[in-house]
Amino acid sequence: VTRSEIKSCEDAIRLLAAYLDREVSEAAHAEVERHLSTCRSCYSRAQFERRLKKRLAELGQEPVRPALSQRVQELIKDFTVTGSE
């Protein structure tokens, strides 16, 4: 992400989802963090989106035993590394 400088809440909101997904550059991550530390509204929005994301993640956790989950993650890693090369 090259457009990481945040000058407004709109800029922050545009990056927020990717930030919460850990899909932004280090520079953009730092920019979002800086904005969230100074903007109550965007901080509240981030907390809300993070909580909703956590609730969705919980849907995938309960029925799967840890060993199976780990095996799936390993297979996904193997296949995606292979598939992207």
Partner 1 sequence: MKALESLPSLRSLQSFRGWVLRILHNTFVSRSRSAWARASHEPLDTVADDFSLFERLHQPILLWWGNPEMDFVNRLLREDLERAIDALPDAFREVVVLVDVQGLGYRDVANVLGVPVGTVRSRLARGRSRLQKALWEHALEVGLRGDLPSNSREKGPE
- Residue 26 interacts with partner 1 (CB under 8 A): yes or no: no
Q: How wide is the angle at C-alpha 26 spanned by C-alphas 61 and 21, nearest 5°?
A: 25
State which of positions 51-80 bind partner 1 (CB under 8 A). Answer: 51-53, 55-60, 63-64, 68, 71-72, 75-76, 79-80
As given in the structure block, the two tokens for residue 56 are 């969705």
Report the alpha-carbon distance of residue 10 to residue 18 in Å, rounded. Answer: 14
DSSP state for residue 33 in the 8-state scheme: H
**Cβ 46 vs Cβ 59: under 8 Å:** no
Q: Name which of 7 and 56 has its Cβ closer to partner 1.
A: 56
Q: Is 38 in the site for partner 1 (CB under 8 A)?
A: no
Q: Which residues bind partner 1 (CB under 8 A)?
A: 17-18, 21-23, 40-41, 44-45, 47-49, 51-53, 55-60, 63-64, 68, 71-72, 75-76, 79-80, 82-84
